[in-house]
């Protein structure tokens, strides 16, 4: 499993959320240099990273995606835009949405997040990376 270092942004995702797992695959497919590291919010590594910022993961299902990048924690729409910033292709253009006030962006994010299990389902277990990707996932 991967080591945590400040040079790689870390995406903390809901490991049992099918849309979150698809999002991780989407990011991996657009990150051939291996910039991102990943951990589920349910893992010890994920919880420890969030707690390192004085935050906790609520009991039950996580409500947000989290990105730790350059010693800062980003959540909700900020996290999504931070991910887009590092991806190849036209995805960094999405950072233009930062001009939209965060409360407005986050309303849309929370609306979709509240429905993700209904729309895409939920797994019984967290994602297990393939052998090739194992080095990019934190324990």
**What does the pLDDT look like over 14-65, one tens digit per residue?**
887 788 888 898 999 888 888 999 998 888 888 899 999 888 776 666 778 8
**What does the pLDDT look like over 114-132, one tens digit per residue?**
888 788 777 765 656 677 7
How far is it, in rounded angstroms, from Cα 121 to Cα 17? Answer: 7
**Predicted structure pTM score:** 0.83
pLDDT value, residue 130: 73
Average pLDDT over the chain, rounded to an integer: 84
pLDDT value, residue 101: 96
**Beta strands per DSSP E along 34-133:** 37-40, 66-69, 72-75
Residue 11 DSSP class: E
**Ramachandran sector of residue 47 (left: φ over 0; alpha: ψ -120 to 50; beta: rest):** alpha
CB burial of residue 32 (10 Å; 0-12, 13-18, 19+): exposed
Task: List, in order, residues 6 or more apart from 107 with CB less than 8 Å away.
Answer: none
**What does the pLDDT look like over 92-110, one tens digit per residue?**
999 999 999 999 999 998 8
CB burial of residue 122 (10 Å; 0-12, 13-18, 19+): middle
CB burial of residue 14 (10 Å; 0-12, 13-18, 19+): buried
């Amino acid at each position: 499993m991967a080591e945590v270092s400040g040079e790689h942004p870390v995406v903390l995702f809901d490991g049992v959320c099918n849309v979150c797992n698809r999002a991780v695959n989407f990011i991996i497919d657009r990150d051939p240099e291996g910039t991102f590291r990943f951990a589920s919010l349910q893992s010890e590594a994920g919880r420890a990273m969030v707690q390192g910022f004085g935050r906790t993961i609520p009991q039950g299902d996580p409500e947000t995606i989290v990105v730790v990048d350059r010693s800062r924690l980003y959540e909700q729409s900020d996290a999504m835009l931070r991910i887009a910033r590092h991806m190849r292709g036209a995805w960094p253009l999405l950072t233009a949405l930062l001009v939209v006030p965060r409360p407005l962006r986050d309303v849309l994010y929370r609306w979709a997040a509240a429905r993700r299990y209904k729309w895409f389902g939920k797994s019984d277990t967290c994602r297990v990376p393939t052998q090739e990707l194992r080095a990019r996932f934190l324990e």
